Amino acid sequence: MPNAVAYMMLLAWPLVSLVLFRRLPLERAILWCIIAGYLLLPPVAEFDLPLVPDMDKFAIPSIMAFGLCTFMLRRPVPLLPRHPAALVLVLLFVFGVIPTVLTNGEPMLFHKIANADPILILNHQLPGLRWRDVGSVMINQVIVLMPFLIARRYLSTPEAHRDLLLALVLGALAYSIPALFEIRFSPQTNVWVYGFFQHDFSQMIRMGGYRPIVFLPHALWLAFFVATALMAAAALARTATAERRWRLGLVCGYLFLLLIGCKSLASLAYGLVFTPVVAFAPLRWQLRMALVLGLIAVIYPMLRNAGLIPTDDVVAYFETISVDRAHSLGFRFDNEAQLLARAAEKPWFGWGGWGRNLILHEESGEILSIPDGRWIIVFGTFGWLGYIAEMGLLALPLVLLAWAARKTSVQSFSPYAAPIALILAATLVDMLLNATLIPVTWMCAGAVLGYAERLIYPGLFRERPALFGGIQAMSSETSAPTKRSVI
C-alpha cells in the first residue's frame, strides 16, 4: 500500500504546479506540470472522492494545468476544435458515454452452489451503472481531454513543438539516473520512496537482468518513454547548429544505450526504425509514414474483430526470434480473443467500468482475463462508439497534418511537427499491445491537431480565442503556400 509520502506528493502537486506557472513561460509550465507529474508522482496511489473520478498522477497534473492556465493566467482554452471532424469526435468522446451508462444498469451477480443442498448462494456482485454515474464518467472524459485541448491552443507553434521535444529529452535524461541504478541493482526506487512495488516483480526480470520501472506503472512504459525521447533528441539534432549537433548526437547514443538496458523488444524496435527516419528522412516521408501507421493502428482492431489477423503465423514468426517473446505475444492474443467475445455481447456501447468488460469467474467473480492493449480496453468498456471517438481523436491529427502539408511550402512548415506526428503514430501502434495512453500522448495529439488547424485556417489563434473554437481571428499566421509543398 502507498505510504504517507505518496499521498503527500499528490497533495503537493497543485502547489508545485502553481510555482511552475508563476516562474516559467506558459508553454514550458504546461509541459513540466504534466510531464514531471507523470514521471515523479506515485503510481496506483489515488484519492477516491465521491461522484468524481479518482485523483491520481494522471488527473491531478491535467486539472492543474488546465485550471491555472484558464483561471490564474487568464489564458482561456477553447473547448471545441475548429475542424468539424475533430469537433464531432470531441463531442462523441464526452457525450458518447451516456448510452454506455444507460444500457448497463443491471448488476452482475456471481453465485456458488452449496455443498449440502443445490441452493444458489450469492457470493459476489458488480453493481450496475446508475444515472449518477453519467456525470462522473463524463467528468473523467473531460479530464482526459484537458492536455489535448491545452496543447491544441498553446503547444501548436514551432517554438512550442521544440519545447515539447526538449522536455521529453530532458525528462528522459533525468530519469536515466534511477533507471540505470535499477538496471544494475533491481527496481526498488518506488519501494524506497512510496513504500510499495507497483506491479508484478517477476515481469521486471528479463534476459538475466532487471528492467527499470522507477515511478511508472510498468517497465514497458518507461522503455517506451525512452524510445520517444530518443526520437525527440534525433529531431532536435537534425535542426541544431553544427556546434550543438554533436552534443545532441551523444545524447542520442546515450539514450539508445539506455533503451537497450530497458530490455523491451517493442520499444527497441521503435527506436531502431523511427530514429533514423526522424534524423534523415524528408519531412514528407515522415508525414506519410506517420499517416500509414496511424491508419494501421485504427484499422487493426476492426480486422482483429473480423478474424482477419493471422495470429498463429505472427506467434510462429516471433518464436524464431525469442521463445519468451512469442509466449508473451500468444498470451496477449488469447486474452484478446476472450475479451472480443465478451465485447461482442454489447458491441455498440460496451459494458461500462468496474471491470464489467472483463472475463470473470462465474462463482467467485475473480478476474480471469488480462487486457493489455488499450484498444481492447476501450472497445470492451465503451463499445464501437467509444473506440471510434478515442482512436479517431488520436489519429485524426495525423490525417489533417498530412492534408495541410500538401498546400504548405517546405520553408514555412515546422521542422518539429513531423517528428511529433511520428511519436504519436508510434504510440498508436504500441497501444495495440499495451495500454500506454498517457497525458503526454494527448499533448502530442493536441499539438499536431492545433498546428494542422493553423495551416488549414490561417489566423485561427491570432486574436484572443473565444471559449468555443476561437475562430474570430482577422490576420494570417502562416505564409502563403507555394508550389513546392511538403507532401
pLDDT at 390 over 80: yes
Mean predicted confidence (pLDDT) in 403-408: 88
116-125 exposure pattern, b = at least 16 Cβ within 10 A, e = fewer: eeeeeeeeee
CA-based end-to-end distance of the chain: 52
Res. 468: pLDDT tops 60: no
* Cα–Cα distance for residue pair 329/166, rounded to 1 Å: 33
Phi-psi map region of 189: left, alpha, beta (phi>0 left; psi -120 to 50 alpha) = alpha
Q: What is the mean pLDDT of residues 215-221?
A: 94
Which residue type occupies 228? T
pLDDT beyond 80 at 478 = no
- Give the Cα separation of 218 and 206 in Å (integer): 13
- Measured CA to CA, the distance from residue 390 to residue 92 in angstroms comes to 9
Render pLDDT for 169-181 as a digit per residue (tens, 0 to 9).
999 999 999 999 9
- Which of 81-90, 133-142, 348-357, 427-436 holds the top average pLDDT? 81-90
pLDDT at 215 over 60: yes
Among 183-192, 279-288, 393-402, 464-473, the minimum mean pLDDT is found in 464-473
Give yes or no for residue 290 having a pLDDT over 80. Answer: yes
Are 445 and 431 in contact by the 8 Å Cβ rule? The answer is no
Residue 415 has pLDDT above 50, yes or no: yes
State yes or no: pLDDT of 466 exceeds 50.
no
Using the predicted structure, report yes or no on whether residue 427 has a pLDDT greater than 70: yes
Taking the CA atoms of residue 61, residue 64, residue 70 and residue 74 in that order, the dihedral angle to the nearest 10 degrees is -120
258-274 pLDDT, tens digit per residue, is 999 999 989 999 999 99
Alpha carbon distance 124, 314 (integer Å): 39
| Separation of alpha carbons 72 and 29, rounded Å | 13
Nearest 5°: phi and psi at 179? -65, -45
DSSP 210: E
Higher-pLDDT residue of 459, 25: 25
pLDDT score, position 6: 95
Confidence of residue 402 (pLDDT cuts 50, 70, 90): very high
- pLDDT greater at residue 331 or residue 142: 142
- Burial class of 344 by CB neighbour count within 10 A (0 to 12, 13 to 18, 19+): exposed
Please state, in angstroms and rounded to a whole number, the distance separating the CA atoms of residues 461 and 470.
7
Q: 377, 423, 59: which is closest to 236 by C-alpha?
A: 423
* DSSP symbol at 201: G
**Residue 275: its pLDDT value, please?**
96
Average pLDDT score, the chain: 87
Question: Residue 122 has which C-alpha cell?
Answer: 450469492
pLDDT value at residue 123: 58
Confidence class for position 482, pLDDT limits 50, 70, 90: very low
User: Contact, 458 vs 477, CB < 8 A?
Assistant: yes
Digit-coded pLDDT (tens) for 146-171: 999 999 999 999 999 999 999 999 99
| Cell 517477476 belongs to residue | 202
Residue 381: pLDDT over 70: yes
pLDDT of residue 465: 44
Tell me which DSSP letter residue 155 carries.
S
User: What mean pLDDT do residues 301-328 have?
Assistant: 79
Least confident of 214-223, 233-242, 296-305, 319-328: 319-328
Instruction: Please tell me the predicted confidence (pLDDT) of residue 182.
Output: 96
How many CB atoms sit inside 10 A of residue 246's CB?
11
Residue 121 has pLDDT above 60, yes or no: no
